[in-house]
Amino acid sequence: MPSLSDAIRYAESPDTGEEELRRACEILALDTRGDRSELRERLRAHLDTMHAERPVVCLNPGPLARRGMGVGFAVPRPGSDEHAEVFTAEIALVPDVPDFAAMLAGQLEVTKALVATFGESHAGLRYAPGKWSVRETIGHLADCERVLGYRMLRALRGDATPLSSFDQNAYTESARFERRPIADVMDEFAAVRAVTTALIRGADADGFAFRVPVGKGSITARALAYLIAGHERHHQQLLRERYLPMLPSASGEESSR
């Protein structure tokens, strides 16, 4: 489990490059603008506010992923009439970016860092009785993205055939993710994300306005793209704010928060 001293060493190391520092800031939900020195200063200032005995999110989940920057395009933000109201909050979490697929690739790096922080030893952690474990949360993200991605495929191909809704809780229960290593579940999610980003990169920008019927309503392809991104960001927030404080401190005592 990463410690504050590990994070400080990584931030201050001359071997940590600008893009790695940018990813570290993104992992900690900090501003990612600026050059190498600005990023390092921002990261170090944030780490200075943290308690030495509390675990921190892993800042180096592995080699930088190839994001394909500069080859994608912006997906226009959907209007409120393009999706059900229940999705509004998650869609609002997504920023306006020039390359939507690259943003999704970057978000996956953040999720990988969070998973690495908990590791196999804490993958079964739940912040309250009846809540999903860390492992089940990642499996849930993979399942939902499969469903939402398929809906987006239908919309991008101009197929208006009505689609049924699905029960996310039943899916998670049936999947029995707790039988599997967290690394395996994360690899599955990464494979699903690769399909999603490829679909978006290969689509025509004007095709995202198409609306597909789902359940008792309908949703556009661009709303589905934003929902995929926002859903992951929502669960990243939960992992940081609800699950991370439950990890034991350096002294071995669990947080009372």
Is 254 inside any structural domain? no
Q: 254 has which bridge partners?
A: 248
Domain that holds residue 75: 68-246
Q: What is the pLDDT of residue 147?
A: 98
Question: Which tokens go with 248?
Answer: 């034991």
40 and 126 inside one domain: no
Boundary-marking domain end, from 60, 76, 110: 60
Question: Which tokens go with 52?
Answer: 């030495």
> How many alpha carbons fall within 13 Å on the CB side of residue 237?
10
d(CA 257, CA 249): 12
Angle (nearest 5°) at CA 255 between 251 and 257: 160
Are the C-beta atoms of 11 and 47 separated by less than 8 Å? yes
Tens-of-pLDDT digits for all 257 residues of the chain? 778 899 999 999 999 999 999 999 999 999 999 999 999 999 999 999 988 887 889 999 988 876 554 578 999 999 999 999 999 999 999 999 999 999 999 999 999 999 999 999 999 999 999 999 999 999 999 999 999 999 999 999 999 999 999 999 999 999 999 999 999 999 999 999 999 999 999 999 899 999 999 999 999 999 999 999 999 999 999 999 999 999 987 555 554 44
105 and 124 inside one domain: yes
Question: Which tokens go with 252?
Answer: 């071995």
100 and 174 inside one domain: yes
Q: What is the pLDDT of residue 66?
A: 64
d(CA 183, CA 186): 5
Q: What is the pLDDT of residue 67?
A: 56
Are the C-beta atoms of 207 and 78 separated by less than 8 Å? no
Angle (nearest 5°) at CA 203 between 26 and 79: 70
91 and 190 inside one domain: yes
Domain of residue 120, CATH code: 1.20.120.450
Domain tally for the chain? 2
96 and 177 inside one domain: yes
Are the C-beta atoms of 138 and 111 separated by less than 8 Å? yes
54 and 165 inside one domain: no
Q: 98 has which bridge partners?
A: none
3-state SS string over the chain? Answer: CCCHHHHHHHHHCCCCCHHHHHHHHHHCCCCCCCCHHHHHHHHHHHHCCCCCCCCCCCCCCCCCCCCCCCCCCCCCCCCHHHCCHHHHHHHHCCCCCCCHHHHHHHHHHHHHHHHHHHCHHHCCCCCCCCCCCHHHHHHHHHHHHHHHHHHHHHHHCCCCCCECCCCHHHHHHHHCHHHCCHHHHHHHHHHHHHHHHHHHHCCCHHHHHCEEEECCEEEEHHHHHHHHHHHHHHHHHHHHHHHHHHCECCCCCECCC
d(CA 128, CA 188): 26
pTM beyond 0.85, yes or no: yes
32 and 112 inside one domain: no
